[in-house]
Amino acid sequence: MNKKLVLKLAFSGILATLSVTSAWSYTLLSPRRTWDSPPTFIIDNRGHASVGDSDRGVTRTVNALRSPVGWNSAGCGTLLNAVAGSMLTFRLGDGIPMINFRDPFGACSGSCIVATFTGYYARRTDGTYRITDADMVTNPNHDLASAGEAVCSSEIFVESLFQHEVGHALGLGHSTVAGATMYPAIPACSASLVSIEEDDRNAVRALYGCS
């Protein structure tokens, strides 16, 4: 069973534009942008209230993002790291990418599950763009789960959800390839998207200039 992933790619509150790359089935955010160095994502150490494992999905999310079959396996070296931490200093645009299991701004309501703020970037002297921050807020009114729970009915696993969202934070848009991590639908009760697929790798390689 697939659940449609309803999300916002926020550009200071406005949806970001996507640019289609015709050679493959992925898209990249426009303008094309990358991090100067691998970001460390701070994962909300409070966890998500609806996740029923031992720490409400914190460790599972951290481990998914650091997974050797995740984004760091694309062939571009280490693209990111992840650690658990406090949200007391959570602030958009401060250069510290955070995944907040709450939504202090009310940016993600109704059918939205998570909002990713991708609008923080700056122009380099060579005309390319660097990402300066990328935060996420989570709608507390949607139930989530993790692979560490004994029972799952129709919830989305945090492992798959935030692997997908971090793809946007790295500069990727959506893929039209079903089963790709960046495909805009996530299977319920599945951590399958923790392992990125070939279309995801192609997108990362094209964006970060590696092979």
Q: pLDDT digits over 96-134, tens only?
A: 999 999 999 999 999 999 999 999 999 999 999 999 999
Give me the phi and psi of 208, to 5 degrees please: -100, 5
Residue 76's identity, in one-letter code, is C
Whether the predicted pLDDT of 11 surpasses 60: no
User: For residues 120 and 114, what is the distance between their CA atoms, to the nearest angstrom?
Assistant: 17
3, two tokens: 């659940």
CB neighbours (10 Å) of residue 94?
Answer: 13
Percent of the chain with pLDDT over 70: 89
Residue given tokens 């697939």 in the structure block: 2
CB neighbours (10 Å) of residue 95?
Answer: 10
Whether the predicted pLDDT of 23 surpasses 80: no
Whether the predicted pLDDT of 141 surpasses 60: yes
Whether the predicted pLDDT of 94 surpasses 50: yes
Upstream peptide bond of 38 is cis (omega within 30 degrees of 0): no
- Give the per-residue SS3 of the chain: CEEECCEEEEECCEECEEEECCCCCCEEEECCEECCCCCEEEEECCCCCCCCCCCCCHHHHHHHHCCCCCHHHCCCCCCCEEEEECCCCCCCCCCCCEEECCCCCCCCCCCCCEEEEEEEEEECCCCCEEEEEEEEEECCCCCEECCCCCCCCCCEEHHHHHHHHHHHHCCECCCCCCCCCCCCEEECCCCHHHCCCHHHHHHHHHHHCCC
Q: Could you tell me if 5 and 46 are in contact, meaning their C-beta atoms sit under 8 angstroms apart?
A: no
Whether the predicted pLDDT of 175 surpasses 70: yes
Whether the predicted pLDDT of 17 surpasses 50: no
205, two tokens: 């390689």
CA R_g for the chain: 16
User: For residues 180 and 173, what is the distance between their CA atoms, to the nearest angstrom?
Assistant: 12
pLDDT classification of 19: cutoffs 50, 70, 90: very low
pLDDT classification of 211: cutoffs 50, 70, 90: confident
Cross-strand bridge partners of residue 29: 18
Q: pLDDT digits over 40-65, tens only?
A: 999 999 999 999 999 999 999 999 99
Whether the predicted pLDDT of 164 surpasses 60: yes
